[in-house]
Structure 1
Amino acid sequence: TDFEKEIKGDMLSSFISEVRELVLDNCKSNDGKIEGLTAEFVNLEFLSLINVGLISVSNLPKLPKLKKLELSDNRICGGLDMLAEKLPNLTHLNLSGNKLKDISTLEPLKKLECLKSLDLFNCEVTNLNDYRESVFKLLPQLTYLDGYDREDREAPDSDAEVDGVDEEEEDEGE
């Protein structure tokens, strides 16, 4: 009956609004859209879209609570301006293995004020002279680029939150 469909729909919406992590790796996108990925995922904090055939981020829904976005191994070559509008609280972004060639394509990431970590492994842009210095200069809010900070110190494990908290002091006397 229509009433049953409505109840099921309400239950599904309620479930979707509770989801905090979503991994859709290797699901093929349709014209840059991932079927079922909508703004109803209001509490989503981690989204993984590795190898889904994305050529653009323009069809991503507005996800205000999203902190970590995995977009490795897609075909994105630019058009990153939509990210700040749709994902204003993003702290970690992985664009490894995409078609990013120029530092200028990263310019829109300046608007992601919370962005702390950016990965661009296997993107052509990493072959440019002064790549690291240029990206850190362009994006002053960044703490880590490709897993290392400005002083070439490795980032702590990705599960540990990066809040500028002093790393644990190592035991010196053994």
Structure 2
Amino acid sequence: MLQRPKASEFPEYYVPYVNSVPEVDLLTLLKENLVKVTELFENISEVDAEFCYAPGKWSIKEVLGHMTDTERIMSYRLLRIGRGDQTALAGFDENDYVAGSKINRLPVKNILDDFIATRKATITLIENMPEEAWANIGFANNTEVTARAVAFIIAGHEIHHRRIINDKYIAAL
């Protein structure tokens, strides 16, 4: 079982994500949450998927696209850090990524399929990571972070946004 990272292993702004990950096996959680995300978004109509709960907020499609983009980027960071790459990795502006995706033009099923493929790739990356790689320290977005912390951030980020979808979007529909 992958050990929870210490607070010194990641920047403070990731604390809410890491803290939202329950004390369970991370791989099991990622697999179970893939099912939860799939079930959640399979039950959202095309009309509802374009809903924004407030002016200036993303649509449900945009949130799912953001979840996918972020997991893809964080998995890339996990790969690089896990392999011992010491190259500084750039940050990204999630608002620019959402705007650049033009994701509302896509059917929600396509966006969900992309998330599913990304999550499955994340799972195999974590399953095959050498044990000693989890303590590797890398540099991403101008901060130090361990491979172990990145894996927990990935899990926590999805939990965070799934909670928002349920609490702010689904509840308002």
Q: What interval of TM-score do these two structures reach, taking the shorter chain for normalisation?
A: under 0.3
Length-normalised TM-score, structure 1: 0.24
Bigger proportion of residues as strand: 1
